[in-house]
Amino acid sequence: MAQSLPDSQRIVITGVGLTAPNGNTLSEYRQALLEGRSGVSEYEIRYFGKTLAGICDYDALRYQKRKEVRRGTRAGSIAIFCSQEAVADAGIDWSGIDTSQVGVFVGVTEHGNVETENEIYQISGYDYDTQFWSHHHNPRTVANNPAGEVTLNMGITGPHYTLGAACAAGNAGLIQGCQMLRLGECDLALAGGVSESIHTFGIFASFNSQGALAVHDDPAKASRPFDTDRNGIVVSEGGCIYTLERLDDAQKRGAKIYGEILGYAMNSDAADFVLPLPERQTECMELALKRAGLSASDIDIVSTHATGTSSGDIQECVALRNLWPEVGTTRINNTKSFIGHAMGAAGALELAGNLLAFNDGICHPTINLDQLDPECEVAGLVANQPEQMDKVTTILNNSFGMLGINSVVIVGKV
């Protein structure tokens, strides 16, 4: 159990920086979730046309110059904004930090598609003459770009990785940060996930051809996990980066602590490109619980991955019923119903949406749940209205992705 480890091996969250379709600070975002405010709106993208998306509206120039934004990537810009905000939120005096001991671990679903599509479009105006191809293409599209842009912006000389883990990537970034701190490879980790997905027409076209892209007359009601009338995914952008520290270091500097990473797990379905396997999802949750020294009944809030697809939601609910077969004290919710699917940022943003429940004791609801699909019935599902709980001391955060990658992170109140 994490609490039985020495303080030098206990990893805590001391700062949160985020941008979501319905908020640019943790408090703003949390308030939107408690008030039932969606961040989904109408959107139009080249070639594909009109659709719906979760669009972020953060100040890209707060930490970058215009030239830097133009030279870099949207994912990198989001990662920089969130990382800088996370450090500020943690109350860290950056001038006194040994940046060789800072690690940056950013999860993504995909990276480089946006830049490649844009550059192909631009040279189409020159009869596809590649002499007009951008010389920024390679540094923009290398896999380590978003994390690497953070190191350039913040002068960080410690290790950086961008982790490709499909829609499990936000959790994967946190897990990597936790592991690197425990290994002594860094003393401060900036960890989480980002997504620029709405800027590539290919993702909309692909989900559409798969029959998995949400449509609705009212954008705010388009993302509706577990509902009988759900019809697919709302693609969103966003980011959430956490400052992670060892408990003894955090206490030494008198840091505020949002929570402690008690346990985590990742595994693979090894079954299908897109269809999840409930048995492996259950096993992933069980392994995270075992590592945390907890049982399923010890969990206060389960943050679900459910994206609003007809089959994916059902498969996760099967996995949930394996561990929570009947109503107890555990409550279950979903954040994608508010912001859509932020892909690589999803796991990190969804954890953040629940994190302040340690303070206010409220489980935010799943919205747009007008008629529950009987196959999605799970014990303790909170629908449409927030629920005040007796206590919130543990949160289990699910995040699953294509090609059968599963991740679970459990955070506890300190």
Average pLDDT over residues 134-141: 96
- Is residue 367 helix, strand or coil? coil
Q: Tell me the C-alpha distance between 199 and 53, whole Å.
A: 10
If you average pLDDT over residues 17-22, what whole number do you get?
98
CA distance 268 to 230: 26
pLDDT digits (tens, 9 = 90+) for 280-307: 999 999 999 999 999 999 999 999 999 9
pLDDT tier for residue 51 given thresholds of 50, 70 and 90: very high
pLDDT at 79 over 90: yes
**Rounded Cα distance, 171 and 55, in Å:** 21
Q: Which helix (H) or strand (E) holds 176?
A: helix 169-182
- Is residue 1 very low, low, confident or very high in pLDDT (cuts 50, 70, 90)? low
Show the DSSP H helices in 24-168 as ranges: 26-35, 66-71, 74-89, 113-124, 137-141, 145-154
List, in order, residues 6 or more apart from 266 with CB less than 8 Å away: 165, 168, 171, 172, 175, 284, 405, 406, 407, 408
Summarize pLDDT for 160-215 with one digit per residue, the tens: 999 999 999 999 999 999 999 999 999 999 999 999 999 999 999 999 999 999 99
In the structure encoding, which two tokens stand for residue 175, read together? 């897990």
**Averaged pLDDT for residues 219-240:** 98
The pLDDT of residue 4: 84
C-beta of residue 317 within 8 angstroms of C-beta of residue 369: no
CA angle 382, 228, 231 (to 5 degrees): 110
For the entire predicted model, the pTM comes to: 0.97
What is the tens place of the pLDDT at every residue in 389-412?
A: 999 999 999 999 999 999 999 999
CA distance 347 to 192: 8
Domains, the chain: 10-252 (3.40.47.10), 263-412 (3.40.47.10)
Phi-psi region of 128 (alpha: psi -120 to 50; beta: other; left: phi over 0): left
In angstroms and rounded to an integer, the radius of gyration of the C-alpha atoms of the chain is 20
Which residue, 347, 95, 85, is CA-closest to 190?
A: 85
Percent of residues, the chain, with pLDDT higher than 90: 99
* Cβ-proximal residues to 279 (8 Å cutoff; 6+ apart), any chain: 319
Report DSSP letters for 152-168, one per residue: HHHT--S-EEEEE-GGG
Nearest to 33 by CA among 407, 391, 334: 334
